[in-house]
Amino acid sequence: MEGTPAAFLVIGSGVAGLFAALELAAAGQRVLVLTRRAIDEGNSAYAQGGIATVWDPADTAAGHARDTLVAGAGLCDPAAVDLLVREGPDGVRAMIGLGARFDRDDDGNLLLTREGGHGCRRILHANGDATGRELERALVARVRQEPRIEVREGVTAFDLLRHEGRVTGARALDGDGRPLAFPADRILLASGGLAALFRDTTNPAVTVGDGIVMAWAAGAAVADLEFIQFHPTGLVIPGQPRHLLTEALRGEGAHLLSRSGDRFMPRHHPLAELAPRDIVARAELAEMQRTGDPFVLLDARHLGASFLAGRFPGLEAMLGRFGLSLARDPIPVAPAAHYTIGGVLTDLAGRTTVPGLYAAGEVACTGVHGANRLASNSLLECLVFGRRAAHAMLEDSIRSQKGTASASATGSPLPETGAGLTAPPAGDPDRHEVGSGPRAPGWRILRDPDRHDVGRAPLPPRMAVRNARFAHRQGADRQEVADPPLPPGMKPLNLSITDGQGTDGPGFTWMPARFPPGDPGEFLDRLLGVFRTGPGLDEAMGKLEPSLTTVTVPLGEATPDRVARRQRTVAAALLARFAHARRESRGAHFREDFPAPDPAWQFRQVLTGTTLSRWPGSVE
């Protein structure tokens, strides 16, 4: 069955996709938006903390860029970072013009807070702890008023149509599992990341890498997928998913404690709780391994009940359902898969390596995050690069109508980006079978990763020996270690709460992850979580690599179950492929057998088909 033809098709209804759709509509174009759920249930709505940009006169774009580069651990593209910090304020102003309401003081000035990795207070927030939801609300309201934008809800796109080397549409399933085809001249992927592949995740269940798999299967290059950011403060309640507790809590002064009440972060980093997320997550796990506990405690009680109720109303309401309160209780938390740093390789205008295909938001990899995303840069990325992708789609459409091919359509290097970013083609672009094509100039093929072996360096003392019992029992149901006595005044936690499904506000339903036999979620936490090992990555590759050779779902067999299995398995295999190859620890990728960064590995990995290539990372 053929769906509505569209000149411009947007897949995904988060901030990047809707912002781009409005930009296209403002230019007089008709746009079709496909979304798996209701339009107001995009993944962006789960972003609590805020949006980072320079507003304080004492702050500078250079300072924001510096903090981003430091967090990125040497792999950021400086040109992408420069665009992010320079164009970010205009994106926020555009959102204010669209009706987004950020928190302000009594004089009408925007309120700012600080989060981990930032050198000053530059985080804008809305409704205390519901920034993503407020941006989504404003965008959805405007999209619903825009006659040039058609939204199809309950449609799951799972494959891209191609003809003569370019993307010409998308295949999808409707809510009843019936196949649809949507012809389109230009397609923007804005479908989010893949963190919901993991059992312990802050993401809704649908964020399993659909867009990344679709693009890769169509021959597009994907990059940096070994870097999965684990948020340090996912709520630990038995039988419940890992509700996110925003980093803004630590930005406002909350502390991380061991079960005995010891504040441990100052031992791990000079910034303590405000260290970059990868450092905080590893420090938490090291503490959990030392004590045998399945969580650490987030303590905000000293901030005061009135402040917490006004600043974090959503969190207080959510915690109240479990009998907890920030003002009264230390909250049990542990790391949870949160953000996909890599994704579909694009230039700085959202163009992928396949003509007609664009990407923006978490599904894309512009190089702005490097090896580790700086807190609250994600919503900013959606605005900056969502707008740039829309403008590139318009520009390329005009060039095509005039008979002048765009840069990406001619196969010449993608504009406005680091040297050598154009990926080699992967076999016949009109087929889904993977293969390797000729290399672009300046690329090296990683056929023998052992040549980068730098030996087994000693592990840091606190990470030298992992608690064997804990390593395979990270779930919140583990209760085999006796609780140590709590310090005076610290209330014991009720860890027997299992009140069924949780919710996160109107229209947001969370369910604990339950994976069928053979699903990669059964072993991803163990093999590709915060800590990775050589044998674990070998095991992951053994389980998943075969799925990288057969990715087509025949038209007559495209059922929801089969499509879901294919998407999840291929996305997990791509993640494993990247992590297995990188033989060092950098940013959000930590290997116990190679626990230090290695200058020889300061490059980004790019996969096209089954060919893994590299280009030099930042030298900042």
List, for residues 264-284, the tens digit of each pLDDT value.
999 999 999 988 888 899 999
Query: In 3D, which of 120, 114, 40, 122 has the Cα closest to residue 84?
Result: 122
Length of the chain: 620
Is residue 605 within 8 Å of 575, Cβ to Cβ? no
Alpha-carbon gap, residue 103 to 98, rounded angstroms = 15
* β-bridge partners, 182: 170
| pLDDT band at 239; cut points 50, 70, 90 | confident
Question: Domain of 310: which CATH number?
Answer: 3.90.700.10
pLDDT at 272: 94
| Model confidence pLDDT, tens digit, residues 140-176 | 999 999 999 999 999 999 999 999 999 999 999 999 9
* Within-domain flag for 302: yes
Question: Exposed/middle/buried for 403, CB within 10 Å: 0-12, 13-18, 19+?
Answer: exposed
In a domain, 434, yes or no: no
Identify whether the C-beta of residue 351 lies closer than 8 Å to the C-beta of residue 414: yes
| Pair (328, 264) in one structural domain | yes
Identify whether 67 is part of a domain: no
Residues 484 and 539 in one domain: no
Strand segments (E) across 200-342: 222-223, 228-235, 255-257, 296-299, 331-340
SS3 577: helix
Interatomic CA distance for residues 68 and 78, integer angstroms = 9
Residue 177 lies in a domain: no
pLDDT in tens, 516-560: 666 787 789 899 999 999 999 999 999 998 888 766 666 677 888
Residue whose token pair is 């972003």: 47
The radius of gyration of the chain's CA atoms, rounded to the nearest angstrom, is: 23
The verdict on 492 and 525 lying in the same domain is no
Q: Give the count of domains, the chain.
A: 2
Residue ranges making up the domain that contains 570: 514-606
Give the whole-angstrom CA distance, residue 20 versus residue 113. 28
Do 474 and 522 sit in the same domain of this protein? no
Q: What does the alpha-carbon distance between residue 530 and residue 432 come to, in Å, rounded to a whole number?
A: 32
Query: 429 in a domain, yes or no?
Result: no
405-413 long-range contacts, CB within 8 A, separation 24+: 406/351, 406/355, 407/351, 408/347, 408/351, 408/352, 408/353, 408/355, 409/166, 409/355, 409/356
- Which residues make Cβ contacts (< 8 Å) with residue 422, sequence separation at least 6? 353, 411, 412, 413, 414, 440
- Residues 233 and 334 grouped into a single domain: yes
Mean pLDDT, residues 462-482 taken together: 30
Three-class secondary structure assignment of 301-369:
HHHCHHHHHHHCHHHHHHHHCCCCCCCCCCEEEEEEEEEECCEEECCCCCECCCCCEEECHHHEECCCC
Lowest mean pLDDT among 201-215, 222-236, 500-514: 500-514
Q: Are residues 238 and 269 in the same domain?
A: yes
Could you tell me which of 457, 448, 452, 443 has the C-alpha nearest to residue 583? 452
Q: ∠ CA(113), CA(119), CA(123), 5° rounding?
A: 25
CATH number at residue 601: 1.20.58.100
Residue that the structure tokens 């512009």 belong to: 366
* Same domain as 237, residue 328: yes
- Provide the 10 A C-beta neighbour count for residue 71: 26
Amino acid at 396: D
The answer to whether residue 313 sits within a structural domain is yes
Q: 539 and 486 share a domain?
A: no
Amino acid found at 559: T
Chain centre distance of CA 378: 8
**pLDDT digit string (tens) for 434-446?**
223 333 333 333 3
**Residue 592: is its pLDDT beyond 60?**
yes
Burial class of residue 489 in the structure, from the number of CB atoms within 10 Å of its CB (0-12 exposed, 13-18 middle, 19+ buried): exposed
Burial of 255-276, coded b for 16+ CB within 10 Å and e otherwise, reads bbbbbebeebbeebeebbbbbb
Sign of the CA dihedral running 528, 425, 16, 366: positive
Separation CA 315–CA 308 (nearest Å): 9
Amino acid making up residue 165: G
| pLDDT attached to residue 130 | 78
Tokens, residue 533: 């090992």
Q: How far apart are CA 162 and CA 170, in angstroms?
A: 9
In the chain, what is the straight-line distance between the N-terminal and C-terminal CA atoms, in Å?
Answer: 51
- The answer to the question of residue 473 being in a domain is yes
Q: How confident is the model at residue 46 (pLDDT cuts 50, 70, 90)?
A: low
Question: What was the pLDDT predicted at 240?
Answer: 82
d(CA 494, CA 147): 51
Give the model's pLDDT for residue 351.
Answer: 98
Determine, yes or no, domain membership for 247: yes
Asked if 315 and 238 sit in the same domain, the reply is yes
**Spatial distance between the Cα atoms of 362 and 212, rounded to a whole number of angstroms:** 10
Q: Is 277 a catalytic residue?
A: yes
Are 479 and 578 in the same domain? no
Tell me which residue of 67, 80, 76 sits closest to 620, measured CA to CA. 76
Residue pointed to by tokens 């630990």: 236
Count CB atoms within 10 A of the CB of residue 303.
18
Q: What is the pTM of this model?
A: 0.82
Q: Which of 122, 133, 171, 277 is catalytic?
A: 277
pLDDT digits over 329-362, tens only?
999 999 999 999 999 999 999 999 999 999 999 9
